[in-house]
Amino acid sequence: MNVTNIGGLAPLAALGTPATPATRAGQPTFLDVFSQIFGDAVEGNQTVSEDRIRLMLGDADDLEQIQLNIQKAEIATELLVNVRNTVLDSYNEIIRMQI
């Protein structure tokens, strides 16, 4: 049996680093999105804490804005928890996969 050489492979360094779909399209990565969600939740909760202190001191004039800030903080925190739970569920499902 005669086996012919199919030629050498190009070195991996010559191929360069693969571009991920997010970097190719200029879209944010998951880390960017998660960091933004986390930042929004932290900022919302800080605003609510400041509003509560002003309310206790009697310096709060706009109760509607305080209620709105509380709702925003609750929604941001709920979103953060839901994203975290979804990521953990996905991770656990991947871990259970058989190869």
Half-sphere exposure of 90 (CA within 13 A, CB side): 6
Alpha helices in the chain (DSSP H): 12-15, 21-25, 30-57, 63-96
- Residue-averaged pLDDT of the chain: 84
Mean pLDDT lowest among 34-38, 46-50, 68-72, 95-99: 95-99
Q: Distances from the Cα of 83 to the Cαs of 41, 72, 73, 75, in angstroms?
A: 12, 17, 15, 12
In SS3 terms, 55-68 reads as HHHCCCCCHHHHHH
Q: Which is more confidently placed, 37 or 3?
A: 37
pTM, two decimals, is 0.66
Cα-only R_g, the chain: 25
Whether residue 41 contacts residue 77, with contact meaning beta carbons closer than 8 Å, is answered with yes
User: How many residues in the chain?
Assistant: 99
Q: Rounded to an integer, what distance in angstroms lies between the CA atom of residue 85 and that of residue 41?
A: 16
Average pLDDT over residues 79-84: 94
Domain range list for the chain: 27-96
Give pLDDT, residue 2. Answer: 63
